[in-house]
Chain A
Amino acid sequence: MSWIYEPWPWYVAGPMITGVMLLLIYAGKSFGVSANLRSMCSIAGAGRWVDFFNFDWKKQSWNLLFIVGGAIGGFIAVNYLTPHESVAISESTQAALQELGVENPGSTFLPDKIFGAEALSSFEGWIFLIVGGLLIGFGTRYAGGCTSGHAISGLSNLQLPSLIAVVGFFIGGLIMTHLILPFIL
């Protein structure tokens, strides 16, 4: 059972994600997490101003339960199944990050420089997280799905729109990683 405490390789994680998608399909639902962001807008009362949020979010309440489960899973994994929270990223990635001033890259799941207490005590740190979140929320609904809805569910169903969306994900990701992060990190 010691393998459970080690980082899980891709060939375990990938098939398990397919399994999650199939369980939801078997339940008559579909795997797409970003729909929850729209539900949350509706629950917060956004339908009063914008008609897009006047929909029966209760039909999506199963999906909200799914992400609550996801949060519980994260809690279990990090507290009971992960004795050493370090990420074995490649040496070249580590070197690139050190050059950008990220200390001990890979020693924890997340860089303190973006998510740590110091980032939260600076104006720039807040702006970074806020702009990132806005892009995710706006972009994912504009594209009609995120990594789960398009990259996994959509590509599994051979949907050309999903392939276009995934190409977009990579255009945005490559621009951010190579052209923008070096200046703002």
Chain B
Amino acid sequence: MKRVAYLAVGVIFGIVMSKAEIVSWYRIYEMFRFESFHMYGVIGSAVILGMIAVQLIKKKEGKTIKGEQINFSDKNKSIPRYLIGGTLFGLGWAMTGACPGPMFVLLGQGVASIGIVIISAVFGTFLYGAFRNKLPH
């Protein structure tokens, strides 16, 4: 697919994240207090539709735009890496109200301070790379 197409899909993503307030720190805080259905509706409906679509693609042996068979790779089995890594990410998510997608959307919105979060998130990824051999996986 042409480069501009990825840019265009990203634009849709950025608009949805903004218009549905998924980029809002308040919505994440509210979600973790179970005081609104909004975020659960967003993630829940995306996942349920996604499950149906992925099952259909598998059953009908769906093809990509280039005509290649669509393959879904299974994730490696483990508990510690997903549970510990997930918990650390959850701590940061509830703190800044941003996950890796929305932080770039917020930057585009002109929120300068999110730049600090982005730079330290890149550095956090570097730290993982540096210490990954010493971590349980």
Interfacial residues, chain A to chain B (CB-CB below 8 A) = 4, 7-28, 33-34, 36-38, 40-41, 44, 46, 49-50, 52-53, 62-63, 65-78, 81-82, 87, 89-90, 92-93, 96-97, 105-106, 109-111, 114-116, 119-120, 126, 128-144, 146-148, 150-162, 164-178, 180-181
Once the chains bind, are B23 and A109 in contact (CB under 8 Å)?
yes
For the complex of A and B, list the 6 residue pairs with the smallest distance between their C-beta atoms, beginning with the closest.
A69-B10, A73-B14, A168-B86, A172-B90, A137-B124, A10-B41
- Which A residues are in CB contact (< 8 Å) with B64? 25-28
- The closest CB in chain B to the CB of A91 belongs to B35
- Beyond the given pairs A148-B99, A173-B32, 9 more chain A to chain B contacts, judged by CB atoms under 8 angstroms and listed by A's residue number, are A9-B41, A25-B64, A70-B108, A109-B106, A137-B128, A142-B81, A159-B74, A165-B82, A181-B94
5 A-B pairs whose Cβ atoms sit less than 8 Å apart in the complex: A37-B100, A89-B27, A147-B101, A159-B74, A171-B86
- Which B residues are in CB contact (< 8 Å) with A175? 87, 90-91, 94
- The closest CB in chain A to the CB of B127 belongs to A138
Q: Kindly state the separation between the CA atoms of A87 and B64 in the bound complex, as whole angstroms.
A: 38
- Which B residues are in CB contact (< 8 Å) with A89? 26-27, 29-30, 35-36
Q: Which of B81-136 touch A at CB < 8 Å?
A: 81-101, 103-114, 116-130, 132, 135
Once the chains bind, are A38 and B82 in contact (CB under 8 Å)?
no
Interface size class of B (residues with CB under 8 A): 35 or more
Number of A-B pairs, beta carbon distance below 8 Å: 477
Given that A93-B30, A134-B92 are known contacts, is A155 also in contact with B50, CB under 8 Å in the complex?
yes
Once the chains bind, are A74 and B17 in contact (CB under 8 Å)?
yes
Given that A70-B101, A71-B14, A109-B109 are known contacts, is A169 also in contact with B116, CB under 8 Å in the complex?
no
Once the chains bind, are A14 and B36 in contact (CB under 8 Å)?
no
Once the chains bind, are A14 and B35 in contact (CB under 8 Å)?
no
Once the chains bind, are B101 and A120 in contact (CB under 8 Å)?
no
Q: Kindly state the separation between the CA atoms of A21 and B68 in the bound complex, as whole angstroms.
A: 17
Q: Kindly state the separation between the CA atoms of A173 and B39 in the bound complex, as whole angstroms.
A: 14
State the Cβ distance, B133 to closest chain A Cβ, in Å: 9
Given that A41-B129, A82-B18, A161-B77 are known contacts, is A74 also in contact with B105, CB under 8 Å in the complex?
yes
Q: Which of B8, B68, B78, B108 has the most CB of A within 10 A?
A: B108
- Which B residues are in CB contact (< 8 Å) with A114? 25, 96-97, 113
- Which A residues are in CB contact (< 8 Å) with B99? 33-34, 136, 140, 146-148
Q: Kindly state the separation between the CA atoms of A18 and B93 in the bound complex, as whole angstroms.
A: 21
| Binary contact track B8-31/A, C-beta < 8 Å → 1, others 0 | 111111111111111111111111
Once the chains bind, are A37 and B121 in contact (CB under 8 Å)?
yes
